[in-house]
Amino acid sequence: MLKRILFLSAANGTLFVGASALAQDDGEDHGHIDDRIIVTTSPLEHPEHESIIPASVLTGDELAKRSAASIGELLRTEPGVSSTFFGQAASRPIIRGLGGDRVSVLDAGLGSIDASSVSDDHAVAVEPATAERVEIVRGAASLFYGSSAAGGVVNIFDGRIPSSVPEGRVDGALRTGLGLNEDSVETAGGFDLLLGKVGNADLVVHGDGFYRKRDDYEIPGFAESAILRALEEAEAGPDAGDEEEEEVFGLVENSDLETKGGSIGGSLIFENGFIGVSGKALRSNYGVPGAHHHEEGEEEEEGEEEEETVRIDLEQERYDLMGELNQPFLIFETAKIRLGYADYVHQELEGAEIGTTFKNEGYEGRLELIEKEYGRFRGATGVQFRHRDFEAIGDEAFTPPNITDQLGIFTVREYETENWHLQVAGRYEHTDTEARSVNLERSFDTFSVSAGIGVEPNENLFFGINALRTERAPAPEELFSDGPHLATNAFEIGDPTLGKEVARGIDATAHGEFGPISVTVNGFYTDYRDFVALLANGGEEDGLPVFEFVARDVVFKGFESQVEADLFTIGQVDIGARAQVDYVRATFKNNGGDVPRIPPLRSILGMEATSTHFDLLGEVEIASAQNNTAEFELPTDGYTLVNLGLTWRPGGDEDGLSVQLQANNLTDEEARLHTSFLKDVAPLQGRRVFLTLRGEF
């Protein structure tokens, strides 16, 4: 019934997405989270530029300027963040070169409860169109969110469980957009409504929905990279003839998508807290570029095969409960609870046939207890549990059905003076993973600790350093995989004997305000023992290259830096600029070579003019070539992308109406992400223009 209600509203175009998600960021606090406060790095919360663990937050206006169909593409240009880019629909964030099970994509503090970490072609079941706030934690966040957050966290808040009363009893927004290149149509909207009183509490309801449709996207050249085409030509030999005209040019085939969904929720909001529930439904059907299923064609000549494209038909139904009590009891002053359940299924369609069905039914819960302050000391303790029942059904199910249960207990202690901030934290986690069909079962007990110190010499400077030792239990896919995966064109083999992955490292951060100039620099060095990597071994099985999960010692190091400046004012127009650079180097120890799929050195330079009625943004993204490649991995050429954005507000800042025009990749440059499995068969989009109309009430 929930899915019928939400999908009917989507089909009729009466779409409403979280009011805060689509509204301009006016700098006011519309909920219990202030725009500059980071809640993901610690239960105790810290301002963005006073966090020992490098983190950042994106809110209303920043998110509204990005028309992305996936979480990975939404965040791809953030410092230290890249994307798996598996076409327009399936892109997951990569943080400092780490992805998969090491980067946790959270839905307001709980896991997305989908199959996105299993394989890069699986879309994340969290919709960017409904995001009102996104927090990014760079580096080990496993102390607070489990071993699946060993490399970082992306925490997305969509406001479907209201935590505050809307001003004027109701607020909301509606957005619609049209895109050239892939002929896209996107619309979304939402509302929060105060229904009245229930005893001493305010009853607030929320509704939202979205619809997105995109055709195959256009590119400036061949779908296959010049490096791959040259390799294929060399392997074919001089007698193969010129087959270049048969190569796909100007288009990435089977990259279209159609996605729709929405949610309903409601909360009772008290003077000292709130309690609320929500239901959410998502449906997506999208093509997987470069993936083909081979069948014998009935009318083909003997020995020939007919190729059929691979598509994914995905749906998720999810229910959540969230509550917060800000009232002292025992030694605590605040209690936060979060519970979520989801039923997820997606089918990989090979032509008209269902090839493989992936199911994931799971639930997750989290309780945080924040203690009363004693002098300069404060602390918090929490417990988290997770259950995942995962099943892959079909001849090409590369991972056997498995059940995972996980229980974690964590704590953080802090001591603060006027200028100094000390923090120690620890987490114990027990994980049971069982694949009954192959009679394999593993249990892991992991311990993670960190200690950090921050100093604020004055109100304009902050320096922090955090030392860590974390342990991660291997994911079920790393343990049990053994079969072909057509969507990624790989035969994947796990290792059931894998042990714990241990990381020792240091994160450092510095932030300074120098008049109109703001500077942030983060650096990291992490030494992994028994790092689990998916590596090609040069073999072939069922006509597919073989990739194995192996444990190797490895070192990750690098930095992110960002400078923002308010330059000058011309009349009523403020001129500003920003520049950022990020870099990751990852190598196997003992001269073992380079880790695969690591992003290259990248910089982004931008200038922005803002006024009451107009904003104009110009941006240049420059990525170096990546020649530090693993065995059997091809290098990737660099690229330069030029983007422009124009926003017009007819009624000024106080009016709720705005028109936005975005032009990305103006020079129609060929750009490929080295972090993507599809980099040599599916580049990023060519020149793209997107027009958006937004209204708020």
CATH code, 148 = 2.40.170.20
- 411 Cβ neighbours under 8 A, 6+ residues apart: 379, 380, 381, 382, 425, 426, 427
Phi-psi region of 330 (alpha: psi -120 to 50; beta: other; left: phi over 0): left
The stretch 623-636 carries a mean pLDDT of 96
The alpha-carbon radius of gyration of the chain (Å, integer) is: 25
Cα–Cα distance for residue pair 190/7, rounded to 1 Å: 14
Instruction: Give the pLDDT confidence score for residue 35 in this predicted structure.
Output: 53
Instruction: Give the pLDDT confidence score for residue 226 in this predicted structure.
Output: 94
| 452 located within any domain | yes
Structural domains of the chain, count: 1
Instruction: Give the pLDDT confidence score for residue 8 in this predicted structure.
Output: 36
| 629 located within any domain | yes
Burial zone of 417 (CB within 10 Å; 0-12 exposed, 13-18 middle, 19+ buried): exposed
pLDDT confidence bin for 6, thresholds 50/70/90:
very low
* 243-265 pLDDT, tens digit each: 554 789 999 999 999 999 999 99
Cα–Cα distance for residue pair 684/88, rounded to 1 Å: 9
DSSP per residue, 619-670:
EEEEE--B----TT---B--EEEEEEEEEE-TT-TTSSEEEEEEEESTT---
| 228 located within any domain | no
DSSP per residue, 378-420:
EEEEEEEEEEEEEEEEETT--S--EEEEEEEEEEEEEEE-SSE
Total residue count of the chain as it appears in this document: 697
pLDDT confidence bin for 596, thresholds 50/70/90:
very high
| 223 located within any domain | no
Cα–Cα distance for residue pair 634/227, rounded to 1 Å: 8
Residues 76, 525, 96: CA angle, nearest 5 degrees: 10
Domain span at 268: 2-217+252-696
The stretch 645-663 carries a mean pLDDT of 91
| 237 located within any domain | no
Cα–Cα distance for residue pair 209/103, rounded to 1 Å: 27
Residue ranges in 401-503 assigned as alpha helix (H): 476-480
| 229 located within any domain | no
DSSP annotation of 34: -
Whether the pLDDT of residue 355 is over 50: the answer is yes
User: Which structure tokens are listed for 129?
Assistant: 């169109």
State residue 506 phi and psi, 5-degree precision.
-135, 135
* 275-322 pLDDT, tens digit each: 999 999 999 999 999 866 544 444 444 444 556 788 999 999 999 999
Cα–Cα distance for residue pair 635/290, rounded to 1 Å: 18
> What order of strands is seen across the sheet that includes strand 55-59?
55-59, 133-138, 152-157, 103-107, 110-111
- The amino acid sitting at 25 is D
* 134-190 pLDDT, tens digit each: 999 988 767 888 888 888 999 999 999 999 999 889 999 999 999 999 999 999 999
Whether the pLDDT of residue 486 is over 60: the answer is yes
Instruction: Give the pLDDT confidence score for residue 12 in this predicted structure.
Output: 36
Q: At 56, which helix (H) or strand (E)?
A: strand 55-59
Instruction: Give the pLDDT confidence score for residue 240 in this predicted structure.
Output: 59
State residue 567 phi and psi, 5-degree precision.
-80, -60
| 235 located within any domain | no
Task: Kindly report the pTM of this predicted structure.
Answer: 0.91
In the three-class reduction of DSSP (H, G, I as helix; E, B as strand; rest coil), residue 251 is classed as: strand
Q: Please give the mean pLDDT across all residues of the chain.
A: 89
| 108 located within any domain | yes
